[in-house]
Amino acid sequence: MSTVVQPLPPGLGRRVGRNARDWIPAALVLVLGLGSWQVLVDVLSIERFLLPKPSEIARTFWEERDVLWSAGLYTFREALGGFVIGSGAAMLFALLLARFRRLGSALMPLAIAANAIPIIAFAPIFNDWFDVLSPTSKIAVAAVLCFFPVLVNTLRGLTSVQPRAIELMRSYAAGELQVFRKVRIPAALPFIFSALKVASVLAMIGAIVGEYFGGSQEALGIQIRNSAALFQFETAWAAIMVASILGIAFYASIATVERMVLKWQGNSREGVRQ
C-alpha cells in the first residue's frame, strides 16, 4: 500500500551520522555543488532573475535576516500549529478506529482515499472559509495535510500486532485498555514516528503554499511570492533558504525524539519477536 510509510530499516537512522566521518562525503558534495553553481552562473552567463549566485543569496540572507527570520518563524508557527492539531487528531482518531473495528473497517477505505487527494488544492477554499489574512486558514491546510498520513499509519501500526501477542495478553486476562497501553501503542510507535516525519514536511508545505494564495505581509510565503513578483530574486531565494532551514530543523527534531523514544529498536522491525 503506497499510502503507508514503512519504518526505516532498523538501525539505518542510527548508523547514518553516527560520527563526523559519515558527514564528510555529504558536506563535500554540498560544497562542490554550491561552488559549481557559483562558477557556472558566470561561465554560462545565466540571467540574474533566472538563477542568482549563491554568494548573492547568502548576502541578501544576511542583510535581510531580521525580516526573513521573523517571517520564517511566523510561518513555522502556522506549520507547527497545523502539525500538532492534525497529527494529534489523527492519532486520537486512529485509537478510536482500532478500538472499534467495525467503525475502522467502514472508515479506513475513505481515509486511504482521502490520503491520496491533493489536499493542497483546497488551500484557496480554506482561505475563503477562514480569514485570508489570519494564520487560521494556513493552520487548517497544514492540519488537514498532516491528518491522513498520520491516521493511516497509526492505525496500521495499532492493528498490525501479530495475533499471538494479543492471545498472550488474553491469557493474562488483560483488559482492552491494557492491551492498548502495553502492546498496541508501543508496537505502533515506529509507524507513528515515520508518519510524523512525513507530516512535518507536509505541514511546512501546507503553510507556505497556503500563503501563496494570500496571507499576512509578515508571512514567509507572501515574502517569497512578492519578491518573485517584484524581480527581487535574491530575496525570494533567501526566503526559500529560511523555509528550508526551518523545515530541516523541524524534521531533524522529530527524528531526534524518535531516536530517544525508540532506543529499544536495535535491529528489530516488527516489534514483537517471533
**Vertex 132: Cα angle to 135 and 121 (nearest 5):** 90
Cell of 191: 509507524
Binding map of other proteins across residues 226-265, x = CB under 8 A, - = no contact: ------------------------------------x-xx
DSSP letter, residue 19: S
Footprint on residues 179-208 left by other proteins (CB under 8 A): 182-183, 186-187, 189
- Compare residues 81 and 190 and give the one whose CB is closer to other proteins: 190
- Compare residues 71 and 161 and give the one whose CB is closer to other proteins: 161
Cell of 203: 505541514
- For residue 264, the minimal CB distance to other proteins (Å) is 4
Alpha-carbon distance values, 176 to 88, 125, 184, 203 (Å): 22, 41, 10, 33
Half-sphere exposure of 77 (CA within 13 A, CB side): 10
Burial label, 18 (beta-carbon count in 10 A; 0-12, 13-18, 19+): exposed
Amino acid at 118: P
Binding map of other proteins across residues 150-169, x = CB under 8 A, - = no contact: ------------x-xx-xxx
- Compare residues 189 and 208 and give the one whose CB is closer to other proteins: 189
Is 174 one of the binding residues for other proteins (CB under 8 A)?
Answer: yes
Is 176 one of the binding residues for other proteins (CB under 8 A)?
Answer: no
Judged by the rule CB under 8 A, the positions of this chain that interact with other proteins are 162, 164-165, 167-174, 178, 182-183, 186-187, 189, 262, 264-268, 270-274
